[in-house]
Amino acid sequence: MLQFIDLTKRYGKADPPALQDFSLTVEEGEFVVLLGRSGAGKSTLIRCANGLIRPTSGEVRWKGESVTRAKKEELLKLRAGMGMIFQQFQLISRLDVLTNVMVGRFHHLPLWRSLTGTFPPEVVETAREALHRVGIGHLARQRADGLSGGQQQRVAIARVLVQRPKLLLGDEPVASLDPVTADAILRLLKEIHRHEKMTTILNLHDVHMARRVATRIVGIRNGRLVFDGKPEELDESRVWDIYRPDDDCCRPFLVHESQPPVSHVLLRV
């Protein structure tokens, strides 16, 4: 179970809070999609989950252990069970695909292996299996920077798979991809989730995709939770609650009868 307990995060003393009194409990095996406008606090929340960001107040607990109060060593241990994928893939560009995936196992290996790039045969085998699993086994020896965005995200997912995390965090993992590739990556994540049952939390900017993949959708607005429910409960008015501008200026245009529903409009922005 992942618990966000009364989180508030201020980056600067004078800044408005990026998260404010935010509480949420995510049960094991859920597939949660976070929705919210740009600046709503989605990335801040995701990064609080694995301790990349410390909240100003409040606490994050993973399986009962405090991520927020964990000392460096404890935090590294906790993070070993948490995988993360990013919008920009975060691969090591000059290394080949297979080596990039094996980096996912560094925390299990002695330091000298990491430094010399010498991996035990079982790690190589596991990495190859992961690459096959995400459909790019044939690219194992290609340099990471020679791949398309979709292929690079598959490498990043394979890297997470070898880590065997119990929690998968994704900060806009498909935002840099064309719609068809984005769809393929989300299907892959959904298939992995079905198989591994790892708790999954993704930020997405696409309401339609969120409804398709999530078991639960959480809406964030100005750092506060404004929606928490099943995908089928996210109707047009709730989408509007999440995305409306603070001054409500554009509502007449978005909800005019001749206009498509808000979620369709949002799909196209």
Per CB under 6 A, residues contacting ligand ATP are: 11, 18, 36, 38-44
Which distant-in-sequence residues (6+ apart) come within 8 Å of 45 by Cβ?
4, 7, 19, 22, 34, 220
| Binding-site partner at residue 173 among Mg ion, ligand ATP, none, CB < 5 to 8 Å by type | none
Long-range CB pairs of 64-73, under 8 A, 24+ apart, other chains included: 64/1
Residue written as token pair 């206009």: 259
- The interface region with Mg ion, picked from 39-47, 54-62, 240-248, 250-258 by CB under 5 A, is 39-47
User: Least distance to Mg ion from the beta carbon of 203, Å?
Assistant: 6
> Which amino acid is present at 174?
V
Q: Whole-number minimum distance, CB 11 to ligand ATP, in Å?
A: 3
40 binds, among Mg ion, ligand ATP, none (CB under 5 to 8 A by kind): ligand ATP
| Cβ atoms within 10 Å, residue 180 | 9
Return the one option of ligand ATP, Mg ion, none that residue 44 interacts with (CB less than 5 to 8 A, by type). Answer: ligand ATP
d(CA 60, CA 66): 6
Task: Report in angstroms how near the CB of residue 12 gets to ligand ATP at its nearest.
Answer: 6
Least distance in Å: CB of 8 to ligand ATP? 12
CB of 238 to ligand ATP, least distance (A): 17
The closest residue (CB) to Mg ion is 43
Binding partner of 41, given ligand ATP, Mg ion, none, CB within 5-8 angstroms per partner class: ligand ATP
3, 43, 50, 151: residue in contact with Mg ion (rule CB under 5 A):
43
Q: Given the complex with ligand ATP, which of 132 and 208 has the nearer CB atom?
A: 208
Cβ contacts of 236 within 8 Å, gap of 6 or more: 261, 262, 263
User: Which of Mg ion, ligand ATP, none does 11 bind, CB closer than 5 to 8 A by kind?
Assistant: ligand ATP
Cβ-contact 161, 84 below 8 angstroms: no
Asked if 225 and 22 touch (Cβ cutoff 8 Å), the reply is yes
Amino acid occupying residue 103: V
Residues contacting 90, CB < 8 A, separation 6+: 156
Computed on alpha carbons and rounded to an integer, the radius of gyration of the chain in Å comes to 19
Stretch that binds Mg ion, among 2-10, 42-50, 155-163, 224-232 (CB under 5 A): 42-50
Residues that bind Mg ion (CB under 5 A): 43
